[in-house]
Amino acid sequence: MSKKTPVAVYPGSFDPLHLGHVDIVRRALTIFPNVVVAVLENTDKLPLFSPAQRVELIRDTFAGMSGVEATSFSGLLVDFMRQRQARIILRGMRAVSDFEYEFQIALMNRRLWVEAEHVFLTPNEEYTYLSSRVIREVWRLGGDVTGLVPEPVNRALKRLPR
């Protein structure tokens, strides 16, 4: 495998995908020709959407945009990366509060696989307060998340029983 891979993997829970995530993918596409959005098949007991639904919503959101692929993975991220012959791990960094957690997982991933390289991008400032957790909470309490999530996600949320 060439060490210069044009594929960046953007891993996360994406439950749900919000406009901050979309902004990160758009920015990444100005650097990397291919971005794989990789949904962790975690065991969260109260997810809004199943991993398969999240992948579908990501596909719908980026439909027509070339260079974006959505898939899911389980187990260690670095194993998925090796499988995909990709070594760039893309993550968003919204504020200093994200730093400690991101630094910890970056160092752990590098320990697990020395070729793993993290690239951090900052979203537009209008999205710095967005997180999937906050979106879930606002939605569960009856709030309107229009303008905070992509349209396919907003439509899916409107169909979901609260």
105 binding ligand PNS? (CB under 6 A)? yes
Q: Which is nearer to ligand PNS, 131 or 154 (CB)?
A: 131
90 binding ligand PNS? (CB under 6 A)? no
The torsion region of residue 84 among left (phi > 0), alpha (psi -120 to 50) and beta comes to: alpha
Which residue do the tokens 């390289």 mark?
Answer: 117
Determine the Cα–Cα distance for residues 21 and 6; give it in Å rounded to an integer. 20
131 binding ligand PNS? (CB under 6 A)? no
Whether 21 is a known active-site residue: answer: yes
Shortest spacing between CB 13 and ligand PNS, in angstroms: 4
For residue 90, the cross-strand partners are 119
Q: State how beta strands 34-40 and 68-73 pair.
A: parallel
77 binding ligand PNS? (CB under 6 A)? yes
119 binding ligand PNS? (CB under 6 A)? no
Whether 94 is a known active-site residue: answer: yes
Catalytic one of 2, 3, 4, 45: 45
Q: Which is nearer to ligand PNS, 39 or 157 (CB)?
A: 39
109 binding ligand PNS? (CB under 6 A)? yes
Beta strands across the sheet bearing 68-73: 68-73, 34-40, 7-12, 88-92, 117-121
65 binding ligand PNS? (CB under 6 A)? no
Determine the Cα–Cα distance for residues 42 and 72; give it in Å rounded to an integer. 10
160 binding ligand PNS? (CB under 6 A)? no
Determine the Cα–Cα distance for residues 60 and 151; give it in Å rounded to an integer. 9
Residues within the interface to ligand PNS (CB under 6 A) = 11-13, 40, 76-77, 105, 108-109
